[in-house]
Structure 1
């Protein structure tokens, strides 16, 4: 399992995903059945309006834009005018912690997360919006300010590829278990309001603080969560041996034994369900992406797109 893109990704590979993102959109009108369609509590707002100026009321102006305070102060009707935002900033938050360095089928979670981040970045870029992000591992958080520029997309994906290729089975797990929350806290400080925020992670270590931060982020921004998971968390094979690695420690488990299979299966499936339940409580749209299938096709399915629907 050493093929490029299955365990590790390259910058060239992530840049080349641009053409696969052309028929995908977070913001376009979604078909029925899409996670972003209908009256979802966190339906994407799209572009907003920026305040432009105060001016005298003219016949035909929308009365809802009357500024009562200014009108009373001047003794004449005054309206507030607005211009539509030309673009808006997006932050792609990408998890490359050691918890992501695992895969039992096709790809590692870290590689799938990198691909999803690239697809999201290109989707935002093609929508005419500004691309930025946060890329974090167990030790650091890299921040890239949003800008509408192909070079900025490349800068973001370069950080993703750099952190992805730094992952190694010999790496120690971080002693700091709050790195996910720290990344979300940094995102909250950077985002302010009216951002599109796409969080790509397995959400390992998520708890009540994570839930609180997700709710804070979604109060004034559009937030989408992509939870990357491995099929092993849903169903363990009935026989064989499983090598479990944590830093320098490796343990081989005989999973055909009932006293190993049942507790391990319950733990993995329970952990995945707990995190998914927590994320749903945040009212943030949640897409679950498996390591066993191509990221692009899964994202298309989650968005409710049909193959060939938009070319």
Structure 2
């Protein structure tokens, strides 16, 4: 896409995502990812109209005059989006490709976060970290992220979730809300996920296409692995081939579920032609 097309697409995504975050997800996001509450700030003398429940009885007894505790809401949270930009993310056969859905999901989540006065940062990854955008607040920052999601071109094709999580663990010292958006076509990442989940609020978003799951019966076809370039002729009409293809997908999904379950993190799966609004609503409400 040229610059004009990118800006037009950014505007379209902004209108859609901002509308969803304002009218649908603003309350759900806040409920699902509550801050750590109120923290003690100071004490001051009691004034008429103050809540008597806030009286600090120890200080009051010491000075023989009523004092109350002052609390302030703890600092805003940080959301980190870990975005798969590997070659397989551009695959899509029905409504849109995986990358397009990931972009829209990131936009909705980001606008929900800034509505809650949270910071948002992004890590683009393939078989290594491609780009790191430090967390910041504000609409202009979110629009910059969306532009990057639309226009970024990775330098590599593969997927390495393990090293990405290691980078994230080293780069982010304070607790964050983390959305890992990928088709998870990667090797083992269990240990790195365990470490990240102990410190951060981790959520995996598994994006897949219908054709990742089912092989259409169209006869002899040449299949190519987008990330490795490996090519193979396959008889797609063969029942055993179709069954094997479906089994491989189910095993992959089960591995993802087990990995997140073991780490104490959460995982939701969304197909590229499904309504991600409903999927997010259910997820947020279940966490509230």
TM-score above 0.5: yes
Q: Is 1:17 aligned to 2:13, yes or no?
A: yes
Deviations 1:74-98 (A, max 9, x none): 9559765221247433222212123
Question: What secondary structure, in the 3-state scheme, does the structure 1 residue paired with 2:231 have?
Answer: strand
- More helix by percentage: 2
**CA contact 1:15–1:157 (8 Å) conserved in 2:** no
CA distance in 1, matches of 2:125, 2:80: 13
Question: What secondary structure, in the 3-state scheme, does the structure 1 residue paired with 2:27 have?
Answer: coil
Query: Which residue of structure 2 aligns with residue 300 of structure 1?
Result: 278
**CA contact 1:67–1:80 (8 Å) conserved in 2:** no
Change in CA separation of 1:229 and 1:141 when aligned onto 2, cut-off 3 Å: same
Query: Which residue of structure 2 aligns with residue 114 of structure 1?
Result: 103
Query: Which residue of structure 1 aligns with residue 158 of structure 2?
Result: 173
Query: Which residue of structure 1 aligns with residue 286 of structure 2?
Result: none
C-alpha displacement of 1:129 = 3.0
C-alpha displacement of 1:212 = 0.3
Question: What secondary structure, in the 3-state scheme, does the structure 2 residue paired with 1:106 have?
Answer: coil
Change in CA separation of 1:113 and 1:50 when aligned onto 2, cut-off 3 Å: same
C-alpha displacement of 1:172 = 4.7
CA distance in 2, matches of 1:96, 1:57: 57
Which of 198, 203, 209 matches 2:191?
A: 209
- Structure 1 stretch displaced more, 136-145 or 50-59: 50-59
Question: What secondary structure, in the 3-state scheme, does the structure 1 residue paired with 2:20 have?
Answer: coil
CA distance in 2, matches of 1:197, 1:11: 27
CA distance in 2, matches of 1:196, 1:278: 18
CA distance in 2, matches of 1:91, 1:263: 36
Change in CA separation of 1:261 and 1:301 when aligned onto 2, cut-off 3 Å: closer
Question: What secondary structure, in the 3-state scheme, does the structure 2 residue paired with 1:213 have?
Answer: helix
Deviations 1:207-247 (A, max 9, x none): 321430342244xx4x4332111223433324433622244
Q: CA RMSD in A?
A: 3.7
Q: Is 1:226 aligned to 2:209, yes or no?
A: no
Number of matched pairs = 270
Query: Which residue of structure 2 aligns with residue 287 of structure 1?
Result: 268
Question: What secondary structure, in the 3-state scheme, does the structure 1 residue paired with 2:172 have?
Answer: helix
Question: What secondary structure, in the 3-state scheme, does the structure 1 residue paired with 2:95 have?
Answer: coil
Change in CA separation of 1:97 and 1:224 when aligned onto 2, cut-off 3 Å: same
C-alpha displacement of 1:274 = 1.7
Query: Which residue of structure 2 aligns with residue 103 of structure 1?
Result: 92
CA distance in 2, matches of 1:108, 1:250: 21
CA distance in 2, matches of 1:283, 1:178: 17
Change in CA separation of 1:298 and 1:198 when aligned onto 2, cut-off 3 Å: same
CA distance in 2, matches of 1:236, 1:216: 38
Change in CA separation of 1:98 and 1:29 when aligned onto 2, cut-off 3 Å: closer
Query: Which residue of structure 2 aligns with residue 273 of structure 1?
Result: 254
CA distance in 1, matches of 2:7, 2:198: 32
Question: What secondary structure, in the 3-state scheme, does the structure 1 residue paired with 2:99 have?
Answer: helix
Query: Which residue of structure 1 aligns with residue 223 of structure 2?
Result: 243
Change in CA separation of 1:18 and 1:67 when aligned onto 2, cut-off 3 Å: farther
C-alpha displacement of 1:177 = 6.4
- Unaligned 5+ runs, structure 2: 284-288
CA distance in 2, matches of 1:67, 1:276: 50
Question: Which fold has the larger relative contact order, with Cα–Cα distance below 8 Å and residues 6 or more apart in sequence?
Answer: 1
Change in CA separation of 1:177 and 1:287 when aligned onto 2, cut-off 3 Å: closer
Change in CA separation of 1:23 and 1:151 when aligned onto 2, cut-off 3 Å: closer
Q: Is 1:264 aligned to 2:245, yes or no?
A: yes
**CA contact 1:136–1:183 (8 Å) conserved in 2:** no
